Amino acid sequence: MESWVRAVVEAIHSSRAQAVIYLAGGASQALGWLLSVPGASGTVLEVVVPYSMASMAQLLGKMPLQFTSKQAAEDMALAAFNRALKLSGPGLQVMGVGFTGSLASSRPKHGEHRFYVSTRTQNCLRTSHVTLSKGLRSREEEDKVSSYFLLKAIADGCKVPATIQSDVQEPELPKESVEQFDEDQELQQVIDGQVCMKVYHFSDSMDKNFNRKIILPGSFNPLHDGHLRLLEVASRWKNVIISNQPYFYKKAELFPGSAFVIGADTAARLVNPKYYGGDYNRMLEILLECKNTGTTFLVGGRNIEGVFKVLEDLDIPVELREMFISIPEEKFRMDISSTDIRKKQGP
C-alpha cells in the first residue's frame, strides 16, 4: 500500500463517519486498503458485492436498465445509505457508497472501459464517471485506478482531504456531479419513502453518555405544525429520527432501545385489539416483544373524537404501562391532525 493511500485511509477512519459500501465490477483493492488499516470496524458497517444480475436486482429492488451507469451507481449509493442509517451508531455521520464498473476482462470488450462511483449522505449526492483508455492497462491496473477514485469519493464524503496520485491521462479525467439537499428536501425524501429516516442530533443538550434514539413516526400526509411541535419537544433529547416505517413492531426491530414520539390518538390505537384482528392477547404479545427490545413511547396529547386527551386518559394494560411516558400538556398541545387536513382539502 502506498504511503499516501495509508494516510488517506487513516484520516477516513479518524473521521467518525460510518459507511455501507456496495460495489460491483471493480475497485476491489480499495476494500483491502480500508480493511487492513486499524480502525476499519468503526468506519465500515457493511460491504456487499452484488456481482450477478439477480443479486443486483435483489439489492435495488428492481432490474437496472444498464448495470454500469450513473443511475445504477446512484441507486446503489441510496440503498447503501438507507442501510447505513439502520446500522449506524447514534450521533455519527453516515454514508452510502455505490460503485459499478466495466473494466478489462479475460475477453476483449466492445464497449468502453468505465466506472461510476457515487456517495450519498444526508444532504449530498456526489457521482463521478471515469472512462479509461482501452488497452493502456491490465485488469489489475484498471482495478487499482478505480480503487483510487473510490477511496477519494469516500474521503470526500467524510470531509477528509485527499489527492489522488495516479497515472490517469487527460481524456480520463472524471466527470463529476454534485446535488445538495436542503432541510425541506431531506424531510420530503422521508415522506416520499425515498429515504427511510432522518436523524437530528442534539448532542449539546443531553448527557454525552445518553445514546437512546428518539423516533418521530407517521405518514406526514400532510406534514403539519403538530408534527413540527412534537419534533421540537423531542429535540430536548439527544438523537431524533424521522421515520416512515409503517409498523411499530418493525420500527422496534430496526431501532431497539429507542423511544417513539407519538400522539395520544396513536397510543390509543396501539393498545386497541381492533388493530390486531380483535385479539387482545395478540396485541399484548406484539407490544411485549417491543418492550423486550427496550422500546418506549413518549405520548403527547391529541384530540380523540373531538375531546383532547393525554396519556393518563387512556386505558393502558398494566403489563405495558411502563413503556408509555406522558408529555405534559403545557409542553405540547396541538389540536390538529393530518386526517382533518385531508378532509378539509377534499379529494
CA 311, chain centre distance (Å)? 31
Please tell me whether residues 45 and 97 are part of one structural domain.
yes
d(CA 6, CA 42): 16
Domain span including residue 230:
193-345
Q: How confident is the model at residue 207 (pLDDT cuts 50, 70, 90)?
A: very low
299-314: pLDDT as tens digits: 888 777 778 888 999 9
* Residue-wise pLDDT tens digits, 123-149: 999 999 999 999 889 999 999 999 999
The Cα angle at residue 105 between residues 33 and 20, in degrees rounded to 5: 35
Amino acid at position 245, single letter? Q
H helix count then E strand count, the chain = 12, 14
Same domain, 136 and 95: yes
* Same structural domain, 263 and 155: no
Question: What tens digit of pLDDT does each residue of 223-276 get?
Answer: 556 556 656 655 556 566 677 666 777 777 777 888 888 888 889 999 999 989
* pLDDT grade for 58, boundaries at 50, 70 and 90: very high
| pLDDT computed for residue 205 by the predictor | 42
Report the distance separating Cα 54 and Cα 71, nearest Å. 18
Q: Is the model's pTM score more than 0.85?
A: no
> Is the same domain home to 322 and 283?
yes
pLDDT category of residue 206 using cuts at 50, 70 and 90: very low
Stretch 103-132: mean pLDDT = 92
Same domain? 173 vs 29: yes
Rounded to whole angstroms, how far apart are CA atoms 59 and 46?
A: 13
Mean pLDDT, the chain, integer: 84
Quote the pLDDT of residue 208.
44
- What lies within 8 Å, CB to CB, of 325 at 6+ separation is 259, 296, 297, 298, 299, 311
Residue 209 has pLDDT above 50, yes or no: no
Indicate if 96 and 23 belong to the same structural domain.
yes
pLDDT per position as a tens digit, 322-333: 999 988 766 655
Residue 204 is predicted with a pLDDT of 47
Are 87 and 141 found together in one domain?
Answer: yes
pLDDT tens for residues 21-44?
999 999 999 999 999 999 999 999
Do 90 and 239 touch, CB atoms closer than 8 A? yes
Domains identified in the chain, total number: 2
Give the whole-angstrom CA distance, residue 149 versus residue 323: 48
Q: Of 120, 149, 180, which closes a domain?
A: 180
Mean pLDDT of 171-193: 88
